[in-house]
């Protein structure tokens, strides 16, 4: 896919690598701060940002010209959301009683 | 898209181009698409476990926090860094194959294998600790008098803690199996690269192996905070 890209992506890879390591460090440090109910949210937001960086730059979703590929990726996230959100809507409201 | 690819790759007798594909670009795109469909099934495979984890974590938050605190978060964070570094070496291997840099390709693949084995080694140390502490679900499981973080005087329910450890071992174990398979794939890629099988025109196996490795990395990026860092703060 990116085989026809003539410019060297080396700098991008190193920046993403640094960002991922920084994200790991922040996740680790933030876990020991008392953020109340936001601890889990912070951890998940950082994890999702890291996953997004890996998918976009290391797995070359960014720059992919194949539309079918984007359809597969988006539908994967869609079905995962059905699995998680609908289950949580059920159990989350049931357990409160 | 096929027209421009045909101009770039004027020759039609490339041995790497299978007969049922019009162009190399089409062949490459088909592999990538197939790999992503496979990864979609893997996301749903792990998704079921993450869903089970979320439901039990909501139900038994205090017990999960107490159990999570017995894990070694420093080793977990180290393993996250190890996997991220291995993702870098994988992406370098893909780039090296696409640009015909043989030394970088072989070095990156060897480094990936070393980092992959380091991850499994650290995971093995953690598993050993869990066996020593009787935190492995089963008849010898013991989780008595462990207080719930933030609730002095309250002890975690061992039955609920056992659910946490069952999820911990299944999720990290399944991830470790994926790592072992990934290492197998990369040993094969290393042998093929050593034989000079990959060229800028044909490096699909390296790209697909790379997609798989990055996917396994993403799973760990979620497993680390969810399993190791529940309610860690004092």
pLDDT digits (tens, 9 = 90+) for B165-197: 999 999 999 999 999 999 999 999 999 999 999
- Whether B146 has a pLDDT exceeding 60, the answer reads yes
Between residues 72 and 101 of chain B, which touch chain A (CB distance below 8 Å)?
A: 73, 77, 80-81, 84-85, 87-88, 90-92, 95, 98
Q: What is the mean pLDDT of residues B2-16?
A: 56
Model pTM score: 0.91
- Whether A5 has a pLDDT exceeding 60, the answer reads no
pLDDT band at B82 (very low <50, low <70, confident <90, very high): very high
- Whether B7 has a pLDDT exceeding 60, the answer reads no
pLDDT score at B234: 77
pLDDT band at B153 (very low <50, low <70, confident <90, very high): confident
pLDDT band at B8 (very low <50, low <70, confident <90, very high): low
- Please calculate the CA angle B167-B150-B123 and round it to the nearest 5 degrees: 35
Residue B6 touches partner A, C-beta closer than 8 Å: no
Residue A26 touches partner B, C-beta closer than 8 Å: no
pLDDT score at B231: 87
pLDDT score at B169: 98
Signed CA dihedral, A26, A42, A30, B74: sign only: negative
- Whether A20 has a pLDDT exceeding 60, the answer reads yes
Task: Report how far residue B46's alpha carbon sits from residue B157's, in angstroms, rounded to the nearest whole number.
Answer: 26
- Whether A17 has a pLDDT exceeding 90, the answer reads yes
């Amino acid at each position: 896919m990116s085989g026809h890209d003539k410019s060297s992506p080396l700098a991008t890879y190193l920046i993403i690598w640094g960002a991922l390591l920084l994200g790991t460090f922040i996740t680790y440090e933030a876990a020991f701060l008392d953020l109340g109910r936001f601890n889990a949210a912070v951890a998940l937001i950082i994890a999702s940002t890291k996953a997004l960086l890996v998918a976009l730059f290391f797995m070359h979703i960014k720059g992919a010209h194949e539309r079918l590929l984007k359809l597969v990726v988006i539908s994967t996230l869609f079905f995962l959301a059905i699995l998680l959100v609908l289950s949580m809507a059920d159990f989350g409201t049931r357990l409160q009683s | 898209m096929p027209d421009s690819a045909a101009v770039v790759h004027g020759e039609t007798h490339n041995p790497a181009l299978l007969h049922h594909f019009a162009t190399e670009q089409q062949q490459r795109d088909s592999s990538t698409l197939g790999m992503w469909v496979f990864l979609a099934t893997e996301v749903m495979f792990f998704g079921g476990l993450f869903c089970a984890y979320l439901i039990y974590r909501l139900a038994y938050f205090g017990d999960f926090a107490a159990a999570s605190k017995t894990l070694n978060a420093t080793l977990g964070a180290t393993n996250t860094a190890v996997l991220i570094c291995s993702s870098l070496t994988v992406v370098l291997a893909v780039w090296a194959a696409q640009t015909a840099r043989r030394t970088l390709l072989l070095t990156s693949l060897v480094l990936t294998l070393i980092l992959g084995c380091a991850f499994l080694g650290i995971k093995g140390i953690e598993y050993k600790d869990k066996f020593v502490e009787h935190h492995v679900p089963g008849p010898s499981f013991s989780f008595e008098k462990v207080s719930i973080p933030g609730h002095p005087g309250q002890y975690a329910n061992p039955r609920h803690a056992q659910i946490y450890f069952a999820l911990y071992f299944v999720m990290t174990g399944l991830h470790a199996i994926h790592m072992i398979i990934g290492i197998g794939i990369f040993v094969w890629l290393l042998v093929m690269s050593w034989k000079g099988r990959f060229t800028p025109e044909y490096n699909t196996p390296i790209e697909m192996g790379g997609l798989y490795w990055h996917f396994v990395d993403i799973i760990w990026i979620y497993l680390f905070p969810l399993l190791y860092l529940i309610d860690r703060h004092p």
